Amino acid sequence: MAEEPILQLDHVTKQFPGVRALHDVHMELYPGQVTALLGENGAGKSTIVKILTGIHRPDAGAIHINGKLQSFSSPRDAWASGISAIHQETVMFDDLTVAENIFMGHMPLKSGGRIDWQSMRARSAELLKSVEADFGPDDLLKRLGVAQKHLVEIARALSHDSRIVIMDEPTSALSAREIDDLFDIVAQLKAEGRAILFISHKFDEIFRVADRWVCLRDGEHVGEGLIKDVDSPKLVKLMVGRSIDRIFPKKQIKIGEPVLEVEGLCNPTEFADVSFTLHKGEILGFYGLVGAGRSEAMQTLFGVSKPSSGTVKLNGKNLEISSTADAIEAGIAYVPEDRQVQGAVLPFGIRENMTLASLQRHASKSVLSLASEQSVTRKLGERLSVKASNWEQRLNDLSGGNQQKVVIAKWLATEPKILILDEPTKGIDVGSKAAVHEFMGELAAEGLAVILITSELPEVLGMADRIMVMHEGRIVKSFTRAEATAEAIVTAATGGGHHAP
Ligand SMILES: Nc1ncnc2c1ncn2[C@@H]1O[C@H](COP(=O)(O)OP(=O)(O)OP(=O)(O)O)[C@@H](O)[C@H]1O
Ligand SMILES: [Mg+2]
């Protein structure tokens, strides 16, 4: 690969108040190649993306494209130089149409300076077709699902006809099928000679899609090379600075008496006849494809929506839950999957977010105790290895993965009896993932009952005592830890064994 890089980042440094996000970092991107950018939560990956897209300016260092020095003072400059990105936190407009979102900031104009709606719609339709979207340019963004919104972002990146396309954790909200579709698009972009920067915490994706890798640790470049010359233990060691030998530290715990008995839970559209018993000290896995109804069923238990029929018993007594307040009162906590939307108040600080669901624990005679809030925040923050400059730092200023950890901590702070975790390690780096798993095991050992919704097979196989598999809104099969195999679970989750082939 003697080819010249299309993009060169040299000696880039970026300091935020109290945090050195990047220090003397270099990185090269090559045409027709996918470069994976690796690093723990807070390592500086998204900061590089923001510098390359004109959102942040580096304090020092240079960007060259095709050997020419660039200086970006706005995202517009970056587009004009041929760089576009799908960001980790999407910035899109729910009330506008798909076409308007694609061309926001660079709408085609007629000679009089007015917007050329017709050409905008026609070009949008073309772009949507190239990403095989099942919706049109006139659809309102808010009518779309998460995966569809991702396609809009990809179409927007393509609308600039950029030579350099950046994807910052693009698969975190996608189902396995949608990930396959995305990888087809990546292959197409590669074949067209574009350079791609791909950020992901999932090694299987990196080994599937990338040609090269670059690794950051604490804002510094700690290694790079060709994917074919490396394996995941080596990458983990570089990222985390140590090797992790026990990825799933599941302890053998005595399963206690039933805490939650769910019988025939139904809702008119999303799920039907959901029945299971959850015991003290148990980690009960719920596996299924995206859309199998797992989240909806659990949200019903958490009082987000009402069931159309079914009964729920807590410690043997009938439980009526008509609001999330009732659920929290009953000792149920639910960590949502979409933590940015449902879980976090971004303009607030870490402490405020962490104590939001458990304020009454820090109050006596309705006076809040700051000291008690601070001590809980420090304890959970350290336990989940939240990387921040201090515990008052605003969530807005944390890296994506660290925001997620804060939301998990917020629900742990309610000291629940039943903890429902919906895709808890999505977007979380390998090292922190092991910390979350270890914590989960310890909580179970203390008698907490855990429901673990996950789409990651190794996670459910590694952590769950029993596994319930859902397909199209129903529990189709259940496995004990000893019975469970990857193959059997996937077969059940895809409807195998239930429908004729
Ligand atoms: N606007 C900001 N103000 C202050 N600090 C910031 C800001 N943006 C990022 N940081 C800090 O810079 C560091 C790098 O963050 P960055 O978002 O680049 O991490 P990342 O590698 O993308 O992590 P993740 O895997 O969690 O997404 C973190 O310590 C973060 O808290
Ligand atoms: Mg990031």
CB of 399 shorter than 6 A to ligand 1: yes
**Residue 341's pLDDT band (cuts 50, 70, 90):** low
Nearest atom in ligand 1 to the alpha carbon of residue 402 is 26
Sequence-ordered strand ranges (E) for 317-360: 317-318, 332-335
Instruction: Determine the Cα–Cα distance for residues 105 and 52; give it in Å rounded to an integer.
Output: 18
pLDDT of 11 strictly over 80: yes
Contact 300, 419 (CB under 8 A): no
What pLDDT is attached to residue 235? 92
Nearest atom in ligand 1 to the alpha carbon of residue 49 is 18
Work out the percent of the chain whose per-residue pLDDT is above 90.
56
Q: Provide the 3-class DSSP secondary structure of residue 434.
A: helix
Lowest-confidence region among 111-115, 200-204, 243-247, 271-275: 243-247
CB of 425 shorter than 6 A to ligand 1: no
CB of 164 shorter than 6 A to ligand 1: no
CB of 39 shorter than 6 A to ligand 1: yes
Nearest atom in ligand 1 to the alpha carbon of residue 169 is 27
Domains and their CATH numbers in the chain = 7-240 (3.40.50.300), 259-493 (3.40.50.300)
Whether the model clears a pTM of 0.85, i.e. scores above it, the answer is no
Instruction: Determine the Cα–Cα distance for residues 388 and 377; give it in Å rounded to an integer.
Output: 12
CB-proximal residues (5 Å) to ion ligand 2: 45-46, 88, 399-400
The CA R_g of the chain, rounded to the nearest whole Å, is: 24
Residue entry with tokens 């999407």: 90
What pLDDT is attached to residue 360? 73
List 14's β-bridge partners, or say none: 22
CA atoms within 13 A on the CB side of 438: 13
Nearest to 384 by CA among 370, 404, 355, 399: 404
CB of 45 shorter than 6 A to ligand 1: yes
Top mutation candidate among 220, 394, 399, 428 for ligand 1, by most atoms within 8 Å of CB: 399
C-alpha of residue 403 to centroid of ligand 2, in Å: 10
Burial class (CB in 10 A: 0-12, 13-18, 19+), 10: middle
Instruction: Determine the Cα–Cα distance for residues 247 and 250; give it in Å rounded to an integer.
Output: 9
C-alpha of residue 358 to centroid of ligand 1, in Å: 27
Instruction: Determine the Cα–Cα distance for residues 120 and 128; give it in Å rounded to an integer.
Output: 12
Residue entry with tokens 């299924």: 288
C-alpha of residue 168 to centroid of ligand 2, in Å: 7
What pLDDT is attached to residue 458? 87
